[in-house]
Amino acid sequence: MLELRGVTKFYGEREVLGGIDLEVREGEAVALIGASGSGKSTLLRCIDLLEEIDDGDIYLDGAAITDPGSDPVPIRRRLGLVFQAYNLFPHRSVLENVVLGAIRAQRMPRGDALAAGHALLERFGLAGREHDYPDRLSGGQQQRVAIVRALMTKPRALLLDEVTSALDPELVGEVLGIIRELKGDGMTMLIATHEMGFAREFADEVCHLESGRIIERGPPEQIFSDPAHPSTRRFLTRLIDGARA
């Protein structure tokens, strides 16, 4: 459903993505792992057309979405992106955050959007917080609101950019729970993550990014227990040591 062919991106002279090939099939979850600065975030931002790629193509439902000169707005409406730092709108209440896209981008009638927003917030344990401002919420709650906000526009696929990295450890679980639930609903997802346990349990495929290239990919069992590439092995060892320390 989502397909990347030779996606390349430069910041000035520096190559940050070096020919990424990737496919996410309907209902599948693909995890992107790799050190900070390996290009995971940039890749997600490129797919959501927040950044222009310099070479290659990205296809959504078989149609190229990265043709130069094409309007990115209708494409973005079909994809949901959740950011590491939540990026909620601080001047709008939780409910107003959630319905903005539905009302302005999808032209959903206000009443319908509010009802749908209420329902989704309730489903993800945020009932009663509709009229609070984001800064009154815990990090975990804010990230759940951000996920609901992305879901409100009924995206074909959800792009999750290290959505638990900014959270206190005890709050990680509540956000991962939602993602698990969405996976159960059959949501197609591309997830950049540092939560190896989660990726292992949850992903259909794991891709290890290093310096803007996928150096190893495979089913999670193989990547985590028997990585073929020495660099992946080093990365995983470092992570495990870091978790122990």
Partner 1 sequence: MHTIPTSRAERQLARRRQARRSVALSATSTIVVLGAVAAGIVLSPGWRTVRSTFFSWHYFRAVLSSLPAGLWLDARMFIVVEVVVLALGLTIALVRTLRAPLLFPLRLVSAVFVDVLRGVPLLILLYLIGFGVPALDFSFLPTDETVLGGAALALCYSAYVSEVFRAGIESVHPSQPAAALSLGLTRTQALRHVVLPQAVRRVVPPLLNDFISLTKDVALVSVLGPQEIARIAQINSDLNFNFTPYVAAAAFYLLLTLPLIRVVDHMRGRALTRQNAVVML
Which residues make up the interface to partner 1 (CB under 8 A)? 45, 48, 50, 72-74, 76-81, 83, 85, 87-91, 100-101, 104-106, 149-150, 153
Distance in angstroms (rounded) separating the CA atoms of residues 155 and 36: 27
Strand 29-33 to 188-192 pairing: parallel
Q: Which is nearer to partner 1, 52 or 221 (CB)?
A: 52
Q: Which is nearer to partner 1, 91 or 244 (CB)?
A: 91
Q: Taking the complex as a whole, how short is the minimal distance between the CB of residue 60 and partner 1, in angstroms?
A: 13
Q: Which is nearer to partner 1, 146 or 215 (CB)?
A: 146
Distance in angstroms (rounded) separating the CA atoms of residues 244 and 104: 47
In 3D space, the residue among 209, 159, 194 whose CA is nearest the CA of residue 18 turns out to be 209
Distance in angstroms (rounded) separating the CA atoms of residues 205 and 213: 16
Q: Taking the complex as a whole, how short is the minimal distance between the CB of residue 25 and partner 1, in angstroms?
A: 23
Q: Which is nearer to partner 1, 144 or 208 (CB)?
A: 144
168 CB-contact burial (10 Å; exposed 0-12 / middle 13-18 / buried 19+): exposed
Q: Taking the complex as a whole, how short is the minimal distance between the CB of residue 51 and partner 1, in angstroms?
A: 10
Bridge partners of 159, per DSSP, are 81, 190
Q: Which is nearer to partner 1, 88 or 206 (CB)?
A: 88
Count CA atoms within 13 Å of residue 28 on its CB side. 14
Q: Taking the complex as a whole, how short is the minimal distance between the CB of residue 133 and partner 1, in angstroms?
A: 11
Instruction: Scan for tokens 């990295």, then name that residue.
Output: 165
**Which strands form 14-24's sheet, in the order they lie side by side?**
14-24, 2-11, 55-60, 63-64
Q: Taking the complex as a whole, how short is the minimal distance between the CB of residue 84 and partner 1, in angstroms?
A: 9
Q: Taking the complex as a whole, how short is the minimal distance between the CB of residue 76 and partner 1, in angstroms?
A: 5
Q: Which is nearer to partner 1, 2 or 150 (CB)?
A: 150
